A and B are shown apart, each in its own frame.
Chain A
Amino acid sequence: MSTTNQVAISAEGLVKKYGSTTALDGVDLTVPTGTVLGVLGPNGAGKTTAVRILGTLLRPDAGHAEVGGYDVVREAPRVREIIGLTGQYASVDEDMSGRRNLVMIGRLLGLPRDQSKTRADQLLERFELTDAGDRIAKTYSGGMRRRLDLAASLVGNPSILYLDEPTTGLDPHARNGVWDTIRNLVLDGTTVLLTTQYLEEADALADSIMVFDKGKVVAEGRPSELKAQAGKQSLDVRPAEPGHLERVAAIVSEAVGTRPTVDVVNALVSVPVSDGTSMPVVVRRLDEAGIAVTELSLRLPSLDEVFLALTGHAAQEQSIAVLEGASR
């Protein structure tokens, strides 16, 4: 058993400016060994900049950070020995086969040829890429490319792994695959720093979450704490016939015990719920009443809603309009 108090990643007062833009404006963070930190935020919040500094790709203008006890600027080569990095845009060589990508990294890390090949085959198998191993990466789907990228960052058995938006742009099936992989890595004791735009993802994977906004940490805590701050889930029911709105509202009200809001324009009945237990009741009542619905969904708060709740302002200008539209 290893002690859980050890710190894998720590940063204090990280600042990074690009010209007049401040990408990071004094960020502190700590990730205990063997845990997952989810860094949540919209585009431009500074997530990638933080990852690039902690991954030794970028020097901070101020502040300092240690990874595995090594300073990311002064002892960058040491840091590179223990980290794996998977970028937002899969950084695999598209003109080489998946296998050759992995063999190349093994060779660069100083593994002998045969061991590089063995390691490549192991990783291809683990990421279900064995059959595609000899095809050039250009022919891979988005999900396969991400998996290859992840495999590439694991060739050197890193103890600390950075995943910069690992599922952005993936379909749900591919996303679940990446999630399973991350969970298995954590079971093996890997420390993970994960950036994401989806609260759902941070919630599913992270032990703790930090919310970034405009280069600053605006909230942090365990997923459950943040969700409590961000508000509950929402049950949405949309009847096929707009004329049934009132009857649907009555049924929902009775089943949930809270008066729902009725959106006449969008023909939508929504009610805040703490969990999904009332959903089967609603379905049964609607069925008994013979009311057809086109939509019945349990929705988590979106990043915009989380942002609104945590920061008092929307993540992006345009999302204000979206939220206003939704509440009409």
Chain B
Amino acid sequence: MSTATLEVPATRRSRPFAWAEQSLTLAWRNIVRIRQNPEALADVTIQPIIFLLLFLFVFGGAIAGGGTWHDYLPYLLPGVLVQSVVFSTLGTGVALNEDFAKGVFDRFRSLPIARVAPLIGAVLGDAVRYLTSIVILMTAGFLLGFRFENGVGNGLLACLVVLLFALSLCWVWVWLGLKLKTAQGVQGIAFLVMFPLTFGSNIFVQTTTLPGFLQSWTKVNPVTYLVDTMRGLMIGGDVQKPLLITLAWMVGLVAVFAPLAIRAYRRRT
């Protein structure tokens, strides 16, 4: 049917899933920015490699106890993977804080868009960074001789689990990024959070070698269970129990920190 074509005015159309489209648009913005500033990817490319090589070659012999770095690599790689992805969630909070400081979010907040869209967009856009970290480390691992001893499917599943964990954990940083005044403040807190989370766990060593109080901490630290899940899926071992605990943590982190972040976003001036 042909009707007279009226010029469509440049007005908005209201659609039920507008918030999802807006979030994707803002995720696209983050990806464009990453492409524009590849050097900003250093924390998910060079840094993980340095950690892998440092622990593998410097401490590997000592930690392997009589073995060589070859024996340590299968144990270490899933751990370093978790460590670097957990570390890179910090960047999400820092970037949000900087966006706010620059006034870009004033623009978003003055637009008739869903309040969650800029936050979901930031998180989804950063999934690209987390994925970069995973790909870089897995590639390095394979070059050094790492293999998925429990099948490729399970290995890839492990990568998916750590990615989803990062997407849950980063809500903590989204919240802190909105709550704290400066990006330096966010980074300052990072050490208080990141070091207990990563070094107070089984990422680098068996927890049985740790003193009692630290062992107690590792037992409540979600990272321990995530690493157990990763090792189980990548090189074999018990998966079910640590996976369930990890999933529970993921749900809990999002359930607590996403609403906190959205509230902080609404209140931030």
- Complex Cα distance, B106 from A81, in Å, reads 15
- Contact pick for B10, options A91, A107, A119, CB 8 Å: A119
Chain A residues within 8 Å of B107, by CB: 85, 87, 91-92, 105, 152-153
Q: Which of B90-140 contact A (CB under 8 A)?
A: 102-113, 117
- Complex Cα distance, B13 from A14, in Å, reads 33
- Complex Cα distance, B111 from A108, in Å, reads 8
Chain A residues within 8 Å of B103, by CB: 87, 89-91
B241 interface contact, C-beta 8 A: no
Chain A residues within 8 Å of B113, by CB: 108-109
Q: Mark A98-142, 1 if CB is under 8 A from B, else 0.
A: 001000110111110001000100000000000000001000000
Q: Are A110 and B12 in contact (CB under 8 A)?
A: yes
Q: Are B111 and A95 in contact (CB under 8 A)?
A: no
Q: Are A110 and B18 in contact (CB under 8 A)?
A: yes
A57-B106, A91-B106, A119-B10 given as contacts; is B15 within 8 A of A110 (CB)?
yes
Q: Which residue, of A57, A94, A95, has the highest number of chain B Cβ atoms within 10 A?
A: A95
Chain A residues within 8 Å of B32, by CB: 95-96, 100
Closest 5 CB pairs of A and B: A91-B103, A110-B12, A80-B112, A85-B110, A95-B33
Q: Which of B201-257 contact A (CB under 8 A)?
A: none
- Complex Cα distance, B117 from A93, in Å, reads 16
A residues contacting B by CB (< 8 A) are 52, 55-58, 77, 80-81, 83-85, 87, 89-96, 100, 104-105, 107-111, 115, 119, 136, 152-153, 155-157
Q: Mark B24-35, 1 if CB is under 8 A from A, else 0.
A: 011011001100
- Contact pick for B106, options A85, A94, A109, A119, CB 8 Å: A85
Q: Are A109 and B15 in contact (CB under 8 A)?
A: no
- Complex Cα distance, B103 from A77, in Å, reads 19
Q: Are A93 and B29 in contact (CB under 8 A)?
A: yes
- Complex Cα distance, B43 from A196, in Å, reads 42
Chain B residues within 8 Å of A100, by CB: 32
Chain B residues within 8 Å of A55, by CB: 110
A94-B102, A107-B25, A157-B11 given as contacts; is B109 within 8 A of A56 (CB)?
yes
Task: Give 9 A-B contacts (CB < 8 Å), ordered by A residue.
Answer: A91-B103, A93-B29, A96-B29, A96-B32, A107-B21, A107-B25, A110-B13, A156-B10, A157-B11
Chain B interface residue bracket vs A: 20 to 34
B143 interface contact, C-beta 8 A: no
- Complex Cα distance, B185 from A298, in Å, reads 50
B residues contacting A by CB (< 8 A) are 8, 10-15, 18, 21-22, 25-26, 28-29, 32-33, 36-37, 102-113, 117, 269
Chain A residues within 8 Å of B269, by CB: 52, 57-58
Q: Are A109 and B12 in contact (CB under 8 A)?
A: yes
What residue of chain B has the Cβ atom nearest to residue A111's Cβ? B10
Q: Are B12 and A156 in contact (CB under 8 A)?
A: yes
What residue of chain A has the Cβ atom nearest to residue B34's Cβ? A95
What residue of chain A has the Cβ atom nearest to residue B36's Cβ? A95
Q: Which residue, of B26, B106, B117, B269, has the highest number of chain A Cβ atoms within 10 A?
A: B106
Q: Are B33 and A96 in contact (CB under 8 A)?
A: yes
Chain A residues within 8 Å of B106, by CB: 57, 85, 87, 91
- Complex Cα distance, B41 from A74, in Å, reads 41
- Contact pick for B110, options A56, A92, A110, A136, CB 8 Å: A56
- Complex Cα distance, B8 from A108, in Å, reads 17
Q: Are A96 and B12 in contact (CB under 8 A)?
A: no
What residue of chain A has the Cβ atom nearest to residue B24's Cβ? A107
Q: Are B110 and A57 in contact (CB under 8 A)?
A: yes
- Contact pick for A157, options B10, B13, B15, CB 8 Å: B10
- Complex Cα distance, B112 from A95, in Å, reads 23
Q: Are B12 and A111 in contact (CB under 8 A)?
A: yes
Q: Are A109 and B112 in contact (CB under 8 A)?
A: yes
Q: Are B26 and A108 in contact (CB under 8 A)?
A: yes
- Complex Cα distance, B125 from A95, in Å, reads 14
Min distance, Cβ A9 to any Cβ of chain B, angstroms: 15
Q: Are A83 and B36 in contact (CB under 8 A)?
A: no
- Complex Cα distance, B268 from A58, in Å, reads 8
Q: Which residue, of B8, B28, B110, has the highest number of chain A Cβ atoms within 10 A?
A: B110
Q: Are B14 and A110 in contact (CB under 8 A)?
A: yes
Chain B residues within 8 Å of A107, by CB: 21-22, 25
Min distance, Cβ A104 to any Cβ of chain B, angstroms: 6
- Complex Cα distance, B12 from A89, in Å, reads 27
Q: Are A95 and B37 in contact (CB under 8 A)?
A: yes
Q: Are B10 and A115 in contact (CB under 8 A)?
A: yes
Q: Which residue, of B14, B15, B33, has the highest number of chain A Cβ atoms within 10 A?
A: B33
- Complex Cα distance, B113 from A83, in Å, reads 13
- Contact pick for B104, options A57, A91, A136, CB 8 Å: A91
- Complex Cα distance, B28 from A286, in Å, reads 66
Min distance, Cβ B2 to any Cβ of chain A, angstroms: 20
Min distance, Cβ B24 to any Cβ of chain A, angstroms: 9
A91-B106, A152-B107, A157-B10 given as contacts; is B33 within 8 A of A77 (CB)?
no
- Contact pick for A80, options B10, B13, B111, CB 8 Å: B111
Q: Which residue, of B12, B18, B111, has the highest number of chain A Cβ atoms within 10 A?
A: B111
